[in-house]
C-alpha cells in the first residue's frame, strides 16, 4: 500500500514536471533553422534578431514574441524598361537580382511584409540600370569585337551602385545582378529587319557571283587543258606523218635511182592507166600498136 | 524533490489534477507508454534510393561539408522533433524546364503589366519586346531561341535551405547567359558552325550564375530546340542558303564537265596519233613492196630490155583500150600533117568543145 502510494507520487511528479517543461520550452525556446532568422520583439518593439541557427531563448508571451523571417535567396526580375545608351540608342533592358534578407531588423522596419521589398528593389534597380547603361555604348552589350564588350563591368557597376543602398535602406543584401534581356523598341526592330534583309540579299548575291566565277574558272581551265592536249596530239600526228612521208620517198628514190629510165617508162604506163577511165575517148593511129600488127599482116 | 514547507495549499490546488492524472493513467497507461515509445522512435527516417537527407539539430545543420551533411539511402537514426529535423532531397532525378523567354511568344506570366501601353502589334514587320522574346546577336541581328534546361540537385543542403526557387533561378540565369553569349557572336556564326560554342559558353555562364546564386543546382544539359531568325525573315535566310547550294552545285557541275572533257581530249589526241602511226606503217610497207617490185622488174629489164618494154607497153595499151568508153582509129598523117581532119576532145558529149587541127 505504501509502495503503491510512493509509485503513484513519483509518477505524478514525473508526468507533471514533463508537462511543465514542455509548456515552458514551448513558451521560451525559439529554434532558428538554417536559412531562417528570428526577430524577437518585446511588446511589439523589435528587440534583437537571431540570425545564427540553433536554439535561442525569449521571455514567454505576451512579453516577447518571435517573428520568423525567411533568409533564403530569392530571384527578382525587374520590368522591361526603355533606356538610352551613351551613343543615343534606345534599348529595352531587363535585369534580375538574386537577393536575401541581410539585416532582419532593418528589413522588418523598412518593409515589414516581404512582398513590398520587390517593388522597392524594382525602382532601385531600374534607376541604376538607366544610369549605368547611359554611360556605355550599345557595343558594350552586343558586339562581335570582344574588346568592346563590357558586360561584366556593367554588372559590377550595377551591383556596386545598388547593394549598399539596398542594405542601408531596406536591410536587403543584393548578391548578383545580371542583364537578363537586351532588346530594341518595337519601332527600331523594323529598321533592324530591313538591315537584316539587305544583308541577306548581299550574301545571296555574293554566293551566286562567287559560284559563277569559280565555275567559269574551272570550265576555262579545263578547256585550256583540253586544247593543250589536242594541240600536242596534232603536233605528234604531224611529226609521224612527216617522218613517214620522208621514209616512203627515200624508199622509192633508193629503188628508182638504180634505173631511172625504167622508172620513167613504168611511170608513163601507170599514168596512162590512171588517166584512162570509162569516160575517156581514146584516139589511136592505125599505125600504132596493136592495130599496126593487123595491118601489116594484111599487107603481107 | 518535493518540498515539505507549504504542502497544504499546493496539495489542495493540485488535488483535482492529480486525481485526473491518476484516473487517466489507470485507463490509458498502455496507450501513453506506446505513444511515448513511438515519439522516441519518430526520428528514424527512411531515405529512398534517389534521395539524400540532411539533419538539422536545433535548427543547425549537422556536418561541415556536403559529404558529411548528406546521408545516403537507408535508415537514418535521428532524434525526434523538436531536436532534429530531417530534410530529404531528391538528388538523382534530372528535372527539365523549358526556357521560352527568348522564344517567339513569351508566356503571359512573364509579361509585366505595363498599363498604359496596349500590347497589340498589328504590324507584322516588327517584334514587340514585351510580348515576343528575342535576343540580339553581336552584329545586331535578331534571333529567337527556344531552350530546354535539364538540371539536378548537386548540393542538397544548399538547395533546400539557402537557394532560391529552382525554376526561377534557372530561367533567369539561363536567359542571361544566352543573351550574353549571343551578344558576342555574329548571326552567321550562331546559325551555322558556332552553335556548339554558343551552347557551351551559355551553359558555362549559366552554371557560374547558379553557383553564385548558391542554388545548389547543376545544369546537366542545355539544349536549343530551335535557334532561328524571326519567321518573317526566314525566306531571306533561306534564299542565302539556296544561293550557297546553287553556287556549290554550279561548281560541282563545272568540275564534272572538266573531269570528262580532259580525258575526252586526251583520247581523241591518242586516237589521232595512233591513226597516223598506222598510216605511216602502211605507207612504208606499200613503198617497200613497190620498191621490191621495181627492183624485180629491173632485173628482168636489164636482161632483156626490149621484150620487157614491149610487154609493158602492150599491157598498158590493151588495158587502156579495154577501159576507155570509146576508141577511134585514125590513119597516120600524110606528110606529117592532118588535113581536114577534126578531133573533138570532150569528156562529155554536148558540152563546149575544143577543136584542134
CB contact under 8 A, A240 and B244: no
A282: nearest CB among B102, B250, B320: B320
Nearest by Cα to A114 from A54, A69, A156: A69
Q: How confident is the model at residue A294 (pLDDT cuts 50, 70, 90)?
A: low
- Min Cα–Cα distance to chain A from B339, Å: 15
Mean pLDDT along residues A97-103: 88
Count of CB atoms situated within 10 Å of the CB of A50: 22
- Please report the pLDDT score of residue B85 as a whole number: 86
- Min Cα–Cα distance to chain A from B55, Å: 11
Mean pLDDT along residues A70-87: 87
Residues of chain B contacting residue A36, judged by C-beta atoms under 8 Å apart: 59
- Please report the pLDDT score of residue B110 as a whole number: 45
Mutate which of B62, B138, B349 to disrupt the A interface (most A C-beta within 10 Å)? B138
- ω before A290 within 30° of 0 (cis)? yes
pLDDT tens across A248-269, in order? 999 888 888 888 888 888 888 8
Residues of chain A contacting residue B258, judged by C-beta atoms under 8 Å apart: 218-219, 221-222, 225
**Cα dihedral B319, B322, B327, B331 in deg (nearest 10):** 50
CB contact under 8 A, A204 and B240: yes
**Chain A CB within 8 Å of residue B302 CB:** yes
CB contact under 8 A, A255 and B229: no
Q: Which of A138-152, A195-209, B11-25 has the lowest mean pLDDT?
A: B11-25
Instruction: Determine what percent of chain B falls in helix, strand and coil, rounding each to the nearest 5.
Output: 50, 20, 30
pLDDT tens across B168-212, in order? 889 899 999 999 999 888 888 888 888 899 999 999 999 999 888
Burial code of B132-159, b = ≥16 C-beta within 10 A, e = fewer?
Answer: bbbbbbbbbbbbbbbbebebbbbbbbbb
Residues of chain A contacting residue B261, judged by C-beta atoms under 8 Å apart: 222-223, 226
| Residue A86 contacts residue A134 (beta carbons within 8 Å) | yes
- Please report the pLDDT score of residue B340 as a whole number: 59
CA A171 to chain centre: 42
| Size of the A and B interface in Cβ pairs below 8 Å | 378
CB contact under 8 A, B297 and A16: no
Quote the mean pLDDT of chain A. Answer: 85
Instruction: List chain B residues with pLDDT less than 70.
Output: 1-7, 105-124, 334-357
Q: A53-57, A125-129, B29-33, B125-129: which has the highest mean pLDDT?
A: A125-129
CB contact under 8 A, B168 and A190: no
pLDDT tens across A160-189, in order? 999 898 888 888 899 899 998 888 888 888
A141, closest residue in chain B (CA to CA):
B183
Cell representation of residue A279: 569516160
SS (H, E, C) A251-269: HHHHHHCCCHHHHHHHHHH
Phi, psi of A136 (to 5 degrees): -130, 155
- Please report the pLDDT score of residue B278 as a whole number: 93
| Residue B145 contacts residue B182 (beta carbons within 8 Å) | yes
CB contact under 8 A, B183 and A182: yes
Angle at B20 between CA B19 and CA B21, to 5 degrees: 90
- Please report the pLDDT score of residue B150 as a whole number: 92
pTM (two decimals):
0.69
B213: nearest CB among A16, A29, A176: A176
Burial code of A91-124, b = ≥16 C-beta within 10 A, e = fewer?
Answer: bbbbbbbbbbbbbbbbbbebbeeeeebbeebbeb
Question: Measured between alpha carbons, how far is A152 from A106 in angstroms, rounded to an integer?
Answer: 30
Nearest by Cα to A161 from A138, A130, A188: A130
How crowded is the C-beta side of B185, counted as CA atoms within 13 Å? 24
Statement: residue A235 has pLDDT above 90 = yes
Question: Measured between alpha carbons, how far is B320 from B58 in angstroms, rounded to an integer?
Answer: 143
**Cα dihedral A138, A143, A147, A151 in deg (nearest 10):** 60
Cell representation of residue A283: 584516139
| Residue B326 contacts residue B335 (beta carbons within 8 Å) | no
Amino acid at each position: 500500500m505504501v509502495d503503491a502510494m510512493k509509485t503513484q507520487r513519483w509518477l505524478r511528479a514525473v508526468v507533471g514536471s514533463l508537462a511543465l517543461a514542455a509548456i515552458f520550452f514551448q513558451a521560451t525556446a525559439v529554434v532558428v533553422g538554417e536559412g531562417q532568422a528570428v526577430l524577437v520583439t518585446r511588446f511589439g518593439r523589435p528587440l534583437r534578431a537571431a540570425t545564427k541557427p540553433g536554439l535561442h531563448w525569449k521571455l514567454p508571451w505576451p512579453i516577447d514574441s518571435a517573428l520568423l523571417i525567411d533568409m533564403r535567396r530569392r530571384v527578382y526580375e525587374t520590368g522591361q524598361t526603355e533606356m538610352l545608351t551613351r551613343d543615343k540608342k534606345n534599348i529595352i533592358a531587363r535585369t534580375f537580382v538574386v537577393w536575401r534578407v541581410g539585416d532582419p531588423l532593418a528589413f522588418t522596419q523598412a518593409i515589414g511584409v516581404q512582398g513590398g521589398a520587390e517593388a522597392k528593389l524594382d525602382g532601385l534597380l531600374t534607376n541604376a540600370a538607366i544610369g549605368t547603361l547611359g554611360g556605355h555604348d550599345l557595343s558594350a552589350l552586343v558586339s562581335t569585337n570582344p574588346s568592346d564588350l563590357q558586360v561584366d563591368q556593367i554588372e559590377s557597376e550595377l551591383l556596386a551602385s545598388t547593394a549598399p543602398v539596398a542594405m542601408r535602406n531596406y536591410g536587403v543584401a543584393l548578391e548578383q545582378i545580371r542583364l537578363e534581356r537586351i532588346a530594341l523598341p518595337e519601332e527600331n526592330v523594323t529598321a533592324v529587319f530591313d538591315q537584316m534583309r539587305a544583308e541577306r540579299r548581299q550574301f545571296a548575291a555574293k554566293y551566286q557571283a562567287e559560284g559563277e566565277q569559280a565555275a567559269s574558272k574551272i570550265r576555262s581551265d579545263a578547256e585550256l587543258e583540253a586544247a593543250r592536249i589536242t594541240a600536242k596530239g596534232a603536233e605528234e600526228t604531224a611529226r609521224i606523218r612527216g617522218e613517214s612521208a620522208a621514209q616512203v620517198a627515200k624508199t622509192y628514190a633508193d629503188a628508182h635511182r638504180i634505173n631511172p629510165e625504167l622508172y620513167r617508162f613504168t611511170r608513163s604506163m601507170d599514168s596512162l592507166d590512171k588517166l584512162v577511165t570509162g569516160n575517156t575517148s581514146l584516139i589511136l593511129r592505125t599505125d600504132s600498136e596493136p592495130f599496126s600488127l593487123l595491118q601489116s599482116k594484111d599487107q603481107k | 524533490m518535493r518540498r515539505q514547507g507549504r504542502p497544504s495549499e499546493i496539495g489542495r490546488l493540485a488535488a483535482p489534477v492529480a486525481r485526473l492524472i491518476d484516473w487517466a493513467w489507470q485507463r490509458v497507461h498502455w496507450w501513453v507508454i506506446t505513444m511515448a515509445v513511438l515519439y522516441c522512435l519518430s526520428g528514424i527516417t527512411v531515405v529512398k534510393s534517389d534521395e539524400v537527407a540532411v539533419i538539422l539539430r536545433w535548427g543547425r545543420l549537422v556536418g561541415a561539408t556536403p559529404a558529411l551533411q548528406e546521408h545516403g539511402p537507408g535508415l537514418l537514426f535521428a532524434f525526434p522533433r523538436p531536436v532534429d529535423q530531417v530534410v530529404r532531397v531528391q538528388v538523382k532525378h534530372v528535372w527539365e524546364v523549358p526556357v521560352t523567354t527568348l522564344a517567339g511568344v513569351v508566356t503571359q506570366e512573364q509579361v509585366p503589366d505595363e498599363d498604359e501601353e496596349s500590347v497589340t502589334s498589328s504590324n507584322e514587320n516588327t517584334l514587340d519586346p514585351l510580348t515576343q522574346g528575342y535576343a540580339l546577336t553581336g552584329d545586331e541581328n535578331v534571333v529567337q531561341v527556344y531552350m530546354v534546361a535539364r538540371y539536378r540537385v548537386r548540393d542538397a543542403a544548399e538547395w533546400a535551405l539557402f537557394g532560391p526557387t529552382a525554376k526561377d533561378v534557372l530561367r533567369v540565369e539561363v536567359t542571361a547567359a544566352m543573351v550574353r553569349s549571343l551578344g558576342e557572336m555574329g548571326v552567321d556564326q550562331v546559325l551555322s558552325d558556332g552553335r556548339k560554342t554558343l551552347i557551351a559558353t551559355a551553359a558555362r555562364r549559366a552554371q557560374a550564375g547558379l553557383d553564385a546564386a548558391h542554388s545548389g543546382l547543376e545544369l546537366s544539359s542545355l539544349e536549343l530546340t530551335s535557334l532561328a531568325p524571326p519567321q518573317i525573315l526566314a525566306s531571306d535566310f533561306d534564299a542565302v542558303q539556296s544561293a550557297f547550294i546553287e553556287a556549290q552545285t554550279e561548281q560541282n557541275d563545272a568540275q564534272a564537265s572538266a573531269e570528262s572533257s580532259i580525258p575526252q581530249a586526251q583520247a581523241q589526241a591518242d586516237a589521232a596519233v595512233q591513226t597516223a602511226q598506222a598510216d605511216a606503217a602502211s605507207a612504208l610497207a606499200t613503198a617497200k613492196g613497190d620498191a621490191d617490185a621495181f627492183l624485180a622488174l629491173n632485173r628482168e629489164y636489164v636482161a632483156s630490155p626490149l621484150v620487157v618494154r614491149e610487154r609493158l607497153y602492150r599491157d598498158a595499151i590493151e588495158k587502156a583500150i579495154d577501159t576507155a568508153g570509146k576508141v577511134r582509129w585514125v590513119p597516120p598523117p600524110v606528110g606529117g600533117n592532118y588535113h581536114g581532119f577534126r578531133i573533138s576532145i570532150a569528156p562529155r558529149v554536148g558540152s563546149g568543145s575544143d577543136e584542134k587541127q
